[in-house]
Amino acid sequence: MFTHTAADRLKKMLAVALAVFVVLGIRLAWLQLYKGMYYGRQADGNRMRNAVIMAPRGRIMDIHGTVLADSSPGYVLSLQAGHAFSDQETELLARLLGLRKEDVREKADRAANTYEQIVIKGELTPQEITSLEEHMKELPGLSLDLQPMRHYLYKETAAHVLGYVGEVSETQLKQGKYKGLPPGSIVGKEGLEFVYDDVLRGKNGRKTEEVDVRGKVIRDLAGQAPVSGKGLVLTLDFGLQQELEQIMDKQLAALRSSGIAPNAYAAAAVAMDPNTGAVRALVSRPGFDPNWFVGGISSAHWKLINENRFHPLTNKVINGEYPAGSTFKVVTGSAALDQHKVTPEELIFDSGKHWLADMGNAGGEALGWINFQTAFAMSDNVYFYEMGRRAGIENLNAYAERYGFGKPTGIELPGESAGLIAGPAAKKKVFAEEWTLGDTFNAAIGQGLTLVTPVQICQMLAAVAADGVIHPPYLVEKVVNADGSVYQVPERPKSRKLEVAPETLRLIQKGLKGVTQPGGTGAWFANLPVPVAGKTGTAENPHGQDHGWFIAYAPAEKPDLVIACIVEQGSYGATAAGPVVYDVLQSYLTQRIKNETKKADEPIKKRDSLQ
C-alpha cells in the first residue's frame, strides 16, 4: 500500500467490477430464465427440419391392367432452405443440369427466404449425378434425396390422354383447383393427370429430423407416413392404342416421303366402343414424351416442343377444329330423310354440277341419275347440295346439334373445344355478309363455316352405329385402391337418345356400308375379314393442302368399335386417313376373330383335361 488514493481507487475498481458482474448476471437471467422458452424454440427450429415425404402418385392402367404410368424412386436435387446462392453457383447449376439460368436464380432466391427446401430438378440421370458430385464442393447448400417420381412407361404412348405432372406454378397457387397447396407440390398439369389429380396425388407424409448446420440428418424424431394416391383404370386398350400410334406414324411418314402430302405432320385419331362410349384409343400427332416434364423440363426439350409449328402439346382429338368434309353427309342425309324431303328411291340427276349454282363434284365427274344409297357411297356432292337445299340450313344445323356438334362431348380431358355450328347469323357476325344458297350447299357437304373436333365426329358415327343412342365418350373406367378393389366409379355424362327416326338411321347405316363395298369411295375396305361401315371426307384448307378424314365402325353388324381419323394437310381422306383406319381395323378384326374361336374352343379343352 503506497498511497491512500490508490487504496480508494482500488475500492472503486472493485465496485465497477461488481457492477459489471451484476449487469452480466441480469442479462443472463433475462436470456435464460425469462426468454428461455423462446430461445428453446429457436434452437429446436435450428436443429429440427420438417421434411415432406412425397406420396407416391397413383398408377394409371389400361382396361386390362397394363400399367401406363407409375411412381418409382428417383433422385431429386433440392436447394436447402435459408441458404444463399451466388450467381456463379446458380449458373453452374443451370449448366450442369441443362436448365434455364433465370429459373435456377428464381428458385435460389425463393430458397433463401423459406424454411422448406425447394426442388430444383427431379429425376436426375446417372450422368447428372456424377457431374454434380464432381462439383459438390463448389456448390454447398444442395441436397440429393430419393423421392417417388412419375414415370410414363411407354413414353409417347397415350401422352395426350395421360397428360403430365410438374411443380405447381405460382399462378396455380393463387387460383383454380391448386389454390392453397404448399409451394413445390407436384401436381397434374394436363390430361387425366390434371383432371384426376385429387385422387391420383395421395397425401404427403411428414417427418421431423434432427440435422446439423450442414443439413446432414443426425436422427429421425417423428413422422407421419404418406398415403399413396388411388389408381386409375382407363377404358383404353393398350394394344390398340400402340397399334394405332404405330400405324399413324408409319402412314404420316409414308405420306411425306411419297410426296403426296409433304406437310403431313399433324393428325388425330380416336376409337371408341359405340355401345358404351368407352374410348379405346386416342392419338394426337405430333406427340411428346411426358417424362420430359417430370421434375422440370430441360431447355433443350422445351425448345423442341415450343419450336415445333405443329404444336405437339395440343390434343387435336379434342382441340383440333376442322370442317367435317363429306363425313357431314351423315348429318345432311339424316336431316333430308328424317324430314321426308327425299325418299331413298328418288333419283336425282348429277350432270357434274348443280343446276342452280356452278358447284359440282371435286373431281368434276358426273354420275347421272342416282339415288341416296349410290350418292352416299360415292360421296356425290351434287346430290347432297340438293339435299341441303331441300332441308334448309335451319334443319341442317338442328340435326348437327342433335348429333352433338357445337358443344363439348364431355370427355374427361381439360379444355375440350366446342366446335361451331354456323348458320346465317354466324356468317353475318363474322363476315357481315348475307347467307346465300351457295353457303347452304357448302354446309351440306361439310365445307362451310361449321367446325367439328375428331371426338365429336367419332361420337356422331357411334350414335349411328348404336342405332340412335349417344353414349358420350369417356376415358376412366374406375378409380381403384392399391389392392385393385374399386374405390369409385366416376360420374359421366348420361347416355341420351338421338332424335332421328330408326328408319332414317337404317338408311344412313346402309349408306355407310356401301362406302366400303365395291363402288364406294372406300371400296378396298371390302378386303377386311368382316364387312365394315365408313365414310371418307376431305376438309378444304385455305392455308395448305386439304385435311383428310376417314371414319368407320366395325363390324358392320353389331359394331363394337368406331374410329375417326384426320390427317392435317394429308389431302384426300381415302388416301390420307383411310389406310390408318384400314390397318387398325385389319388388326382389330383379326384379333377379334382369334379371340372368338379361342372362346369357342375353351369348353372343349376343359373337357379334355377332365378325362
Partner 1 sequence: MRHFIRNSDWILILTVILLTGIGMVLIASATHGDALVAGTNRFVKRQGIFLAVNVMMAAGILMLDYHSLKRIAWPLYGITVLLLLGVMFFGHASLGAQRWIQIGPVTFQPSEFSKAFMIVCLAAFLDDRSDYLDQWKDYLPACLFMLVPFILVLRQPDLGTALVFAAITFSMFWICGFKMKWIAALAGAFFCAAPLLWQFLHEYQRNRIRVFLDPELDPFGAGYHVIQSKIAIGSGMLWGKGWMQGTQSQLDFLPENHTDFIFAVAGEEFGFAGAVVILLLYMLLIWRGLTIALNAEDRFGTLLASGITGMYLFHVLVNVGMTIGIMPVTGVPLPFLSYGVSSLTTNMLLAAVLQNINLRHTRLQF
Residues 288, 239: contact at Cβ < 8 Å? no
State the Cα–Cα distance between residues 152 and 66, nearest whole angstrom: 12
- Our CB check for partner 1 shows the closer of 86 and 127 to be 86
State the nearest-atom distance from the C-beta of 149 to partner 1, in Å: 31
State the Cα–Cα distance between residues 292 and 415, nearest whole angstrom: 22
* The residue type at 444: A
State the Cα–Cα distance between residues 471 and 280, nearest whole angstrom: 14
Q: In the numeric block, which cell numbers belong to residue 254?
A: 409414308
17 is a site residue for partner 1 (CB under 8 A): yes
Secondary structure (H, E, C), 420-439: ECCCHHHHHHHHCCCCCHHH
Stretch that binds partner 1, among 31-39, 256-264, 272-280, 394-402 (CB under 8 A): 31-39
Stretch that binds partner 1, among 12-20, 67-75, 381-389, 491-499 (CB under 8 A): 12-20
Residues 165, 150: contact at Cβ < 8 Å? yes
State the Cα–Cα distance between residues 295 and 272, nearest whole angstrom: 33
State the nearest-atom distance from the C-beta of 208 to partner 1, in Å: 13
Size of the site for partner 1 (CB under 8 A): 44
3-state secondary structure of 521: coil
Q: List % helix, strand, coil for the chain (3-state, nearest 5).
A: 40, 20, 35
State how far Cα 116 lies from the chain centre.
32
- Our CB check for partner 1 shows the closer of 36 and 484 to be 36
State the Cα–Cα distance between residues 150 and 206, nearest whole angstrom: 20
- Our CB check for partner 1 shows the closer of 80 and 241 to be 80
State the Cα–Cα distance between residues 390 and 395, nearest whole angstrom: 9
State the Cα–Cα distance between residues 98 and 150, nearest whole angstrom: 20
State the nearest-atom distance from the C-beta of 40 to partner 1, in Å: 4
State the nearest-atom distance from the C-beta of 47 to partner 1, in Å: 4
What sign does the dihedral 193-198-199-202 (CA atoms) show? positive
State the nearest-atom distance from the C-beta of 142 to partner 1, in Å: 16
* The residue type at 188: G
State the nearest-atom distance from the C-beta of 15 to partner 1, in Å: 10
Q: In the numeric block, which cell numbers belong to residue 411?
A: 370427355
- Our CB check for partner 1 shows the closer of 22 and 489 to be 22
- Using CB under 8 A, pick the residue from 50, 53, 67, 82 that binds partner 1: 82
- Our CB check for partner 1 shows the closer of 145 and 210 to be 210
- Using CB under 8 A, pick the residue from 7, 129, 254, 356 that binds partner 1: 7
State the nearest-atom distance from the C-beta of 19 to partner 1, in Å: 10
Residues 6+ apart with CB under 8 A from 344: 337, 371, 372, 373, 507
* The residue type at 423: G
- Our CB check for partner 1 shows the closer of 24 and 347 to be 24
Looking at residue 34, what DSSP letter applies? I
State the nearest-atom distance from the C-beta of 109 to partner 1, in Å: 14
State the nearest-atom distance from the C-beta of 86 to partner 1, in Å: 13
27 is a site residue for partner 1 (CB under 8 A): yes
- Our CB check for partner 1 shows the closer of 40 and 368 to be 40
- Our CB check for partner 1 shows the closer of 46 and 306 to be 46
- Our CB check for partner 1 shows the closer of 37 and 300 to be 37
Residues 565, 577: contact at Cβ < 8 Å? yes
- Using CB under 8 A, pick the residue from 64, 65, 72, 84 that binds partner 1: 84
- Our CB check for partner 1 shows the closer of 11 and 95 to be 11
State the Cα–Cα distance between residues 255 and 541, nearest whole angstrom: 17
Stretch that binds partner 1, among 2-10, 97-105, 359-367, 422-430 (CB under 8 A): 2-10
What sign does the dihedral 357-359-364-369 (CA atoms) show? negative
Which helix (H) or strand (E) element contains residue 77? strand 67-79
Q: Binders of partner 1 among 202-261, rule CB under 8 A?
A: 210-214, 218
HSE, side-chain direction, 13 A CA sphere, residue 397: 19
Stretch that binds partner 1, among 30-38, 201-209, 280-288, 425-433 (CB under 8 A): 30-38
State the nearest-atom distance from the C-beta of 100 to partner 1, in Å: 26
- Our CB check for partner 1 shows the closer of 47 and 203 to be 47
- Our CB check for partner 1 shows the closer of 84 and 225 to be 84
List helix spans (H) across 135-190.
159-162, 170-174
State the Cα–Cα distance between residues 78 and 39, nearest whole angstrom: 28
The pattern of x and - marking residues 32 through 71 that bind partner 1 according to CB under 8 A reads: xx-xxxxxx-xxx-xx------------------------
Please classify residue 379 by burial: count the beta carbons closer than 10 Å to its beta carbon, then call 0-12 exposed, 13-18 middle and 19+ buried: buried
Stretch that binds partner 1, among 9-17, 329-337, 482-490, 510-518 (CB under 8 A): 9-17
- Our CB check for partner 1 shows the closer of 216 and 303 to be 216
14 is a site residue for partner 1 (CB under 8 A): yes
State the nearest-atom distance from the C-beta of 114 to partner 1, in Å: 13
State the nearest-atom distance from the C-beta of 12 to partner 1, in Å: 8
Which helix (H) or strand (E) element contains residue 590? helix 578-610
Q: In the complex, which residues of this chain contact partner 1 (CB under 8 A)? A: 1-2, 5-7, 9-14, 16-18, 20-21, 23-25, 27-29, 31-33, 35-40, 42-44, 46-47, 82, 84, 210-214, 218
